[in-house]
C-alpha cells in the first residue's frame, strides 16, 4: 500500500470509528450502520457473524449499561493505522479496562475484537 492510499485508509477508518463511538448515544440502529452481513465480532465468550448476531450483542450491551456506566466511561487511547483501529477504554468501577480492535474496509467494520475486565 503506498503512502497516499494508506493515508486514505486511515482517514476512512477514523470516520467510521468516530461514527461508531458517537452512535452509542444515538441507539442501536445508528450503531448497526457500521456493520454488514460479512462483519464478525469476536469476544472471549463468543463469536458473532453478520448484522443480526452483532445486533444482539449490542442490544445486551446497551441494556446493561447504566447511566453511571456512561458517566464513568473514558477513552484512554485510540490508535489508527491504515484500516486498523485500536481503542482502549474504561468505565470504573464497572469496567476497569477494555479494548476493541477494528478492521475497517469500504466504510464498514469487517472484523472487531472486544475484551474487557472488571474487578
Tell whether omega for the bond before 93 is within 30 degrees of 0, i.e. cis. Answer: yes
Average pLDDT in the chain:
94
Model confidence pLDDT, tens digit, residues 65-88: 999 999 999 999 999 999 999 999
**Burial class (CB within 10 angstroms; exposed 0-12, middle 13-18, buried 19+) of 35:** buried
* pTM (whole model) above 0.75: yes
Name the percent of the chain lying above pLDDT 70. 96
Q: Which pLDDT band holds residue 95 (cuts at 50, 70, 90)?
A: very high
Distance from the Cα of residue 116 to its chain's centroid: 12
Amino acid at each position: 500500500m503506498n503512502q497516499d492510499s494508506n493515508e486514505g485508509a486511515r482517514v476512512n477508518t477514523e470516520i467510521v470509528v468516530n461514527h461508531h463511538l458517537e452512535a452509542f448515544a444515538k441507539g442501536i440502529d445508528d450503531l448497526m450502520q457500521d456493520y454488514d452481513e460479512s462483519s464478525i465480532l469476536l469476544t472471549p465468550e463468543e463469536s458473532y457473524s453478520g448484522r443480526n448476531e452483532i445486533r444482539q450483542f449490542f442490544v445486551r450491551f446497551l441494556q446493561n449499561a447504566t447511566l453511571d456506566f456512561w458517566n464513568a466511561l473514558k477513552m484512554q487511547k485510540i490508535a489508527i493505522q491504515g484500516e486498523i483501529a485500536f481503542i482502549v477504554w474504561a468505565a470504573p468501577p464497572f469496567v476497569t479496562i477494555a479494548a476493541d480492535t477494528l478492521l475497517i474496509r469500504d466504510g464498514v467494520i469487517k472484523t472487531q475484537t472486544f475484551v474487557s475486565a472488571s474487578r
